[in-house]
């Protein structure tokens, strides 16, 4: 069984990959979101040419080394865009094997269908503490969600708050309003210097915050470690790190308490599983980054059923099409249904989702064969 052709369907924000074999078996995957039209160009220039004609084992997935060979063939181009493109091939091939074996990807990687606890993840900084509290409490009561993450500081903000006093105000407000039965997580998005991060972290610790994500510029690992070593609450990070050598350093130095690789940034499931395994070897939990309701969240759901060091919950974006207009009507049905704070990995083969044909018809089509 060989890869016969690869089709892509892309917009500025999102791109899907369709792998078709010479036996007419099909798998669907996704490249990472944002500038996905650019990533698609890279895919057809630097990923697909190495993959057309690649022989797949009909009995079991055998493409891990093929992904590595692509990176070696394209060694002059290390970095995010190539890996964002590679994730489209990786995730499409996992879907292909799931359909061949009539099993969910979870079962192929050592897990099984189950329900997973979510944390509702807010992406907004333009919202007042009062209004953020209103919408999170509504979701808590409506869907039984027992953990939420909200934003402090400003994105790569060089110690500047989104507006004066917002970070402490929102921590105080949500700590009180969400109550003791809800886990409360915050994301600094690379805002703070170690001094400011420690000051805010101690304040948050006293108010029951349990998770401080990316407190310092993510590329300044030594700064993050200073904060991690100083605080009582868990410091999390790694979503931007897509290179295995960087992860080896991050984990070897124990820069964070919780590892947060992103399936789509990493280049797919194989690379993410590698990072999760490295974290497991040192006893570190893995709570992957999954910041929008595209295939990244579906893939992460399957991943969390399989890894022994899965964190407490799945990141689940609470933002609808008013914030992410490109999310609307991607999939048929409702693969993101939440009940009692849980989401279900079903027994459907592959990723268990079907892409909306109308969305595909209105995207830009390209083919390599």
Strand partners, 343: 116
Instruction: Quickly state the pLDDT bin for 100 (edges 50, 70, 90).
Output: very high
Instruction: Quickly state the pLDDT bin for 295 (edges 50, 70, 90).
Output: very high
| CATH code of residue 91 | 3.30.390.10
Whether 65 and 166 share a structural domain: no
Q: Give the rounded distance of the alpha carbon of 351 from its chain centre.
A: 15
- The answer to whether residue 117 sits within a structural domain is yes
Q: pLDDT digit string (tens) for 127-177?
A: 999 999 999 999 999 999 999 999 999 999 999 999 999 999 999 999 999
Give me the torsion for CA of 75, 275, 307, 230, rounded to 10°: -160
- The answer to whether residue 179 sits within a structural domain is yes
Q: Where are the alpha helices (DSSP H) in 244-367?
A: 244-252, 263-266, 269-281, 295-306, 357-361
Which helix or strand (DSSP H or E) is residue 368 part of? Answer: strand 364-368
Q: Is the Cα dihedral 156, 160, 163, 169 positive or negative?
A: positive
Whether 143 and 39 share a structural domain: no
- The answer to whether residue 62 sits within a structural domain is yes
Whether 216 and 329 share a structural domain: yes
Q: pLDDT digit string (tens) for 53-71?
A: 999 998 899 999 999 999 9
**Residue % of the chain over a pLDDT of 90:** 99
Whether 303 and 363 share a structural domain: no
Whether 35 and 165 share a structural domain: no
- The answer to whether residue 268 sits within a structural domain is yes
Whether 86 and 139 share a structural domain: no
Token readout for 253 is 């130095």
Parallel, antiparallel or unpaired: strands 314-317 and 3-10 = unpaired
- The answer to whether residue 208 sits within a structural domain is yes
Whether 126 and 251 share a structural domain: yes
Distances (CA, A) of 279 to 31, 187, 235, 261, 275: 24, 21, 14, 10, 6
Give the SS3 label for residue 316: strand
Over range 295-305, report the average pLDDT: 98
Q: pLDDT digit string (tens) for 237-269?
A: 999 999 999 999 999 999 999 999 999 999 999
Whether 335 and 259 share a structural domain: yes
Query: Which pLDDT score is estimated for 156?
Result: 98
For the chain, what is the domain count? 2
Whether 116 and 47 share a structural domain: no
Q: pLDDT digit string (tens) for 214-233?
A: 999 999 999 999 999 999 99
Q: pLDDT digit string (tens) for 323-343?
A: 999 999 999 999 999 999 999
Query: Which pLDDT score is estimated for 56?
Result: 97
| CATH code of residue 206 | 3.20.20.120
- The answer to whether residue 269 sits within a structural domain is yes
Residue span of the structural domain in which 250 resides: 107-345
Query: Which pLDDT score is estimated for 208?
Result: 97
* Distance of alpha carbon 143 from alpha carbon 80, whole angstroms: 35
Q: pLDDT digit string (tens) for 187-196?
A: 999 999 999 9
Whether 202 and 297 share a structural domain: yes
- Longest CA–CA separation in the chain, Å: 61
Whether 131 and 255 share a structural domain: yes
- The answer to whether residue 350 sits within a structural domain is no
- The answer to whether residue 351 sits within a structural domain is no
Q: Contact 213/149 with Cβ under 8 angstroms?
A: yes
Query: Which pLDDT score is estimated for 132?
Result: 98
Q: pLDDT digit string (tens) for 19-61?
A: 999 999 999 999 999 999 999 999 999 999 999 999 999 889 9
Whether 322 and 362 share a structural domain: no
Q: Contact 355/330 with Cβ under 8 angstroms?
A: yes
pTM above 0.95, yes or no: yes
């Amino acid at each position: 069984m060989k890869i016969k052709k690869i089709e892509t369907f892309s917009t500025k924000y999102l791109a899907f990959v369709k792998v078709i074999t010479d036996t007419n078996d099909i798998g669907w995957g996704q490249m990472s979101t944002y500038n996905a039209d650019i990533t698609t160009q890279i895919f057809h220039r630097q990923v697909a040419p190495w993959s057309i004609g690649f022989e797949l084992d009909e009995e079991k997935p055998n493409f891990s080394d093929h992904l590595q060979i692509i990176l070696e063939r394209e060694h002059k181009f290390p970095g995010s865009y190539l890996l964002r493109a590679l994730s489209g091939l990786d995730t499409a091939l996992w879907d292909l094997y799931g359909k061949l074996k009539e099993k969910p990807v979870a079962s192929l990687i050592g897990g099984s269908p189950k329900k997973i606890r979510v944390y509702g993840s807010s992406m907004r900084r333009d919202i007042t503490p009062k209004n953020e509290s209103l919408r999170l409490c509504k979701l808590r009561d409506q869907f039984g969600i027992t953990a939420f993450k909200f934003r402090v500081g400003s994105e790569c903000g060089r110690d500047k708050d989104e507006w004066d006093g917002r970070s402490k105000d929102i921590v105080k407000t949500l700590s009180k309003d969400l109550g003791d039965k809800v886990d409360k997580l915050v994301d600094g998005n690379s805002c703070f210097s170690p001094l400011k991060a420690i000051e805010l972290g101690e304040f948050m610790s006293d108010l029951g915050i349990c998770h401080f994500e990316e407190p310092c510029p993510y590329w300044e690992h030594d700064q993050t470690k200073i904060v991690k070593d100083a605080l009582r609450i868990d410091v999390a990070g790694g979503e931007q790190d897509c290179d295995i050598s960087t992860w080896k350093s991050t984990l070897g130095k124990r820069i964070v308490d919780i590892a947060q690789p992103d399936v789509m940034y990493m280049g797919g499931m194989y690379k993410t599983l590698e990072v999760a395994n490295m974290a497991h070897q040192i006893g570190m939990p893995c709570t992957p980054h999954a910041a929008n309701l595209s295939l990244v969240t579906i893939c992460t759901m399957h991943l969390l059923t399989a890894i022994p060091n899965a964190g407490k919950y799945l990141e689940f974006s609470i933002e609808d099409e008013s914030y992410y207009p490109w999310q609307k009507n991607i999939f048929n049905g409702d693969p993101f249904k939440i009940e009692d704070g849980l989401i279900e990995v079903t027994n459907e083969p592959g990723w268990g989702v079907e892409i909306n044909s109308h969305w595909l018809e209105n995207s830009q089509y390209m083919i390599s064969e």
